[in-house]
């Protein structure tokens, strides 16, 4: 079952469309290479913005995608 978690965007690589995300509420959980939905324009992906991360397998943080961004 999928799980959605809030995070903070720390970095974004437009060439690979991968983001570095700090999961909210857990200082020890930093995900350095989360794929980002191509439906989100690169110009919206600036450090410090809030993001929604969908985990398709909660036990596998490599199986996730950034699906939304907000201020």
Q: What is the mean pLDDT of each run of 10 residues along the chain (71 residues)?
A: 95 98 89 97 98 94 95 89
**CA-to-CA distance for 20 and 11, rounded, in angstroms?**
5
63 and 55 Cβ atoms separated by less than 8 Å: yes
pLDDT at 63: 95
Return the pLDDT at 34. 97
- Start-to-end CA span in the chain (Å): 28
pLDDT at position 55: 97
CA distance 57 to 31: 14
pLDDT value, residue 62: 87
- Edge-first strand order for the sheet with 64-70 is 30-35, 18-23, 3-13, 50-55, 64-70
Which pLDDT belongs to residue 45? Answer: 98
- pLDDT, residue 68, reads 98
């Amino acid at each position: 079952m999928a799980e959605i978690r809030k995070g903070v965007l720390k970095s974004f690589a437009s060439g690979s469309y991968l983001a570095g995300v700090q999961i909210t509420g857990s200082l020890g959980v930093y995900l350095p290479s989360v794929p980002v939905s191509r439906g989100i324009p690169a110009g919206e992906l600036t450090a410090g913005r809030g993001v929604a991360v969908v985990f398709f397998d909660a036990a596998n943080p490599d199986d996730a995608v950034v699906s939304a961004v907000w201020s």
